[in-house]
Structure 1
Amino acid sequence: MKDILVTGAGGYIGSVLVPKLLRKGYKVKALDRYFFGTDKLPNHENLQVIQEDTRRMKPEYFAGIDAVIDLVAVSNDPSGELFKKATNEINYISRVNTACLAKWLGVKQYILPSSCSLYGFQDSETIVDETSPTYPITVYAKANEKAEQHILPLADERFTVTILRQATVFGYSPRMRFDLAINGMTYGAWKNGVIPLMRDGSQWRPFVHVEDTTDVMCMLLEADPVLINGQILNVGSNSNNYQLGKLAQEIANTLPKEVQIEWYGDPDYRSYRVSFDKIEKLLGWKAKWSGAEGAKEIFDKLASGELTKSEQTITLDWYKELVKWQRIIKSVEMYGGILDL
């Protein structure tokens, strides 16, 4: 049995990964601020929940740990642009610090889930792979790139480091997000019969289901270190490289109701197609989920009432709400309380 430290464990990906690790027999330390609550994780004898900020990591968190999966991040572009300082501190500096602590304290393996957004803008004919130049545009992407650049050189024969450049993630999670492209399209289709789509729909984007990317993380824990050490792997599938307009139409054709596409905003210039040949050849892994299948999964959960939209399902809205209430509480709190002192 391996002991795994997962940072960002209560987030969109973490709340899928942690139960999967527990089912596989791992012991898990699940570390997070838990902005979205601790109720997204199951009660389990092999789960230790640690409420902590990764900017304040302590050596004792690494005691007995065999591998770290460093999911923590301010996790989308709008949040990154509003909280620039925190994004740089969390997505870059804290993850470098975690990797260095892990190596110093004898942890054997470190996995950095990064992002294909590092590839930024590419022309429509280019398909990028792990050796291609990166052109990060946003604060989020730039912080991921800096984390990669400082963490990958830590790899050696005693410390296995693997970087996963994930495609845009979609699919159902206990900590649901409707601010992700396919998830947001599906909610609009279910709620109003309308898929909202940023102009002009010609931009390319790769996608990966949350179950697929967490499967890869589990696979890396069992992989031969010689195969994966010092490697950067794009995580997704060639068939899930979509032009967003065509993706929206495919989703509309799949869902069991009449759906229209509604355009909004200025053209989105982030456009990139990604090759996923390396991960398929190196690990023999292939993604199981298509974009349309993920949309149908979410649609069915919305239709059944199992899934609902709330302020917590839009990451930036929830961060803003927490900041608002922090100001309100600080302005009236005295002696450690409000009414009860």
Structure 2
Amino acid sequence: MRVLVTGHHGYLGSVLTPLLTAAGHEVAGLDTDLYADRLLGPPPAEVPTTRMDVRDVGPEQCAGFDAVVHLAALCNDPLGNLDPDLTVEINHGATLRLARAARAAGVPRFVFASSCSLYGAGQQDTPLTDAGRFAPLTDAGRFAPLTDAGRFAPLTEDAGFAPLTVYGETKVAAERDLLALAGDDFSPVFARNATAYGFSPRLRTDLVVNDLVAHALLTGEVRLLSDGTAWRPLVHAEDIGQAMLALLEAPREVVHGRAYNVGTTGENHLIRDVATMVAEVVDGSRVTFAAGAGTDARDYRVDCGRIAAEVPAFRPRWTLRKGIEELVEAYRRHGLTLPDVRDRYQRLARIRELRAAGRLGPGLRWIG
């Protein structure tokens, strides 16, 4: 297939594009390049690129493609909260504009990078026992084990939505309106990605696992910004890429208009257990709490049984421990520094840097 990937110079795009190329697809990218130079290590092989804001895409940019994989977005809650109206404009409005352009150009498949964050507080399914949920740290600096399997049962794709942020709200709205565009000649499919982690040539250190590993390695502290009692589904960036590839190649009659939780049901983790695992992998590190660390309202587990059953070509390859080990090795090999963690690979910090330098306007458009 000829595949257009939006946001191909981002964290996930830099992992996905080589996977698509290796699978034999002819790939082109479209990116405004806010993060193109945020490289740690060698860049991935380049593909033909259109440097353009996704808000400006028309049918002419989509013509001749067999599929669009849409990654481009304001990608996390802090960045989304910087300007909620702008987040709606880009994550929802531009997504719909792109989809209409693709449909007008005759593109039959549209794979949308959605998010499990649209489940929000995760309280739609049957509550489980809460006993022992807030077990404290032991004297040895390890968390005492909980006595239950989690506060709520894992959420399937049929669960209701309860987004807690504008980022989550835009994913709900985009899925709804993309589905309204579906027809015989236009087939959207929704990849509800769990929280990503893992190495990418265009790293993000504002992702929880990536951040915890970096601080463990560089400061000796696995620094939790919350009390660690929230559940979060986690998935390696490469597994997200493999899921996108599988959804791209799956039969239309299987995936048309379908949403899929992307990850593995067994890879739902309490954040404090993630911290403990990081401390186990990074010798000499210990779990600590940032000042004012409180309970994270984003608390949910997801069931990934649908994608396993309906899209058998997707077989996740990563576990959390393996991913932590990969990050440690990559950070050491490429010489990651603490200023890198705090500034260079933080998406919100990058936007503020470009604005302060007069290179980016308030609407996140390049100046000059």
TM over 0.5: yes
Q: Give the secondary-structure state (helix, strand or coil) at the position aligned to 1:273.
A: coil
Matched residue, 2:118 = 118
Q: Does 1:246 align with 2:278?
A: no
**1:198 and 1:267 in contact (8 A); partners too:** no
Q: Give the secondary-structure state (helix, strand or coil) at the position aligned to 1:234.
A: strand
Matched residue, 1:144 = 171
Matched residue, 2:85 = 85
Matched residue, 1:333 = none
Q: Residue 248 of structure 1: CA displacement?
A: 1.1
Deviations along 1:149-175, whole A, 9 cap, x unmatched? 100122222222100100000000011
Q: Give the secondary-structure state (helix, strand or coil) at the position aligned to 2:157.
A: coil
The structure whose residues are more often helix, as a share, is 1
Q: Give the secondary-structure state (helix, strand or coil) at the position aligned to 1:326.
A: coil
Instruction: Write out aligned runs for 1:61-76 (5 A).
Output: 61-76=61-76
1:229 to 256, 263, 267: 256
Gaps of 5+ in 1: 331-335
Percent identity, please: 34
Q: Does 1:289 align with 2:315?
A: no
Deviations along 1:293-321, whole A, 9 cap, x unmatched? 11110111122235553523011001111
1:324 to 336, 344, 356: 356
Q: Give the secondary-structure state (helix, strand or coil) at the position aligned to 1:274.
A: coil
**What letter matches 1:103 in structure 2?**
R
Aligned mates of 1:38, 1:305 — CA distance in 2: 15
Q: Residue 100 of structure 1: CA displacement?
A: 1.2
**133-142 or 157-166: which moved more?**
157-166
Instruction: Write out aligned runs for 1:120-135 (5 A).
Output: 120-123=120-123, 124-135=151-162
Q: Give the secondary-structure state (helix, strand or coil) at the position aligned to 1:263.
A: strand
Q: Residue 39 of structure 1: CA displacement?
A: 8.1
Q: TM-score, normalised by structure 1?
A: 0.91
**1:7 and 1:30 in contact (8 A); partners too:** yes
* Pairwise CA RMSD: 2.0
Q: Residue 251 of structure 1: CA displacement?
A: 2.1
Matched residue, 2:132 = none
Q: Residue 38 of structure 1: CA displacement?
A: 5.9
Q: Give the secondary-structure state (helix, strand or coil) at the position aligned to 2:294.
A: coil
Q: Does 1:219 align with 2:246?
A: yes
Q: Give the secondary-structure state (helix, strand or coil) at the position aligned to 2:358.
A: helix
Matched residue, 2:212 = 185
Gaps of 5+ in 2: 124-150
**1:185 and 1:197 in contact (8 A); partners too:** yes
